[in-house]
Homo-oligomer: A and B are copies of this chain.
């Protein structure tokens, strides 16, 4: 496998944007990668140390970037401990993340995984609190500049895998739960969108004691209607037309729901 860098780096962290932490990471990236094309923020508003939410966002985002992109994910409760920094290559993309499970739901079984040689790729003087700046950024810069991912360290395996809650097939339907509430108050579930086979009207979603119709688009609902649909994540989603389903149903992540035949 030849490594052809796109010279694009994405960043996903729980650093927020009120401090200059993310800006400083970009400073290190531009300092160490003279030909960097762009640094793209996926989000920095992951709740502090919420490895599962980071995994969910990254697994749905990375494929939309060009092959050869380096994706850096730093949600890292164990910074400063002996946890490894992982380099993974999968389908022509590279991932850098702490070995805390974050990459579990992201990578395929065929991914090449290595333990980053922190001595070689980290900055000479490293803090024990901000590896985004001192380890992840310089390593990402080197790979984005063309360093072959196979030279980043010895092969290893993930010691932990965050497992997103799995939906279960049931007689003629599915049982799952809400795994993400987005800015619009849409409730994204872990039920795969292709569970909605055939006519949407033949399906009903049950959540919080309510039975909701399945539609093909938000705009097919009546004003203020609560509805379910196949969303852009490829998941079953509960939404309110021109409204906020999380507020209307007073629920959030972890809320159970089912998809079943309309009776």
Contact = CB atoms under 8 A, between A and B. Distances in A.
B127 A66 contact: no
Interface stretch (A14-22, A103-111, A165-173): A14-22
Contact of A43 (B20, B36, B183): B20
Interface residues of A, number: 69
Contacts of A52: none
Interface stretch (A77-85, A154-162, A205-213, A248-256): A77-85
A45 B18 contact: yes
Given A133-B232, A244-B48, A80 B27 contact: no
Given A66-B30, A182-B18, A219-B80, A23 B48 contact: no
Contacts of A216: 80, 128
A94 interface: no
Contact of A219 (B38, B43, B79, B217): B79
B130 A24 contact: no
A18 B65 CA distance: 19
A85 B175 CA distance: 37
Interface stretch (A4-12, A113-121, A143-151): A4-12
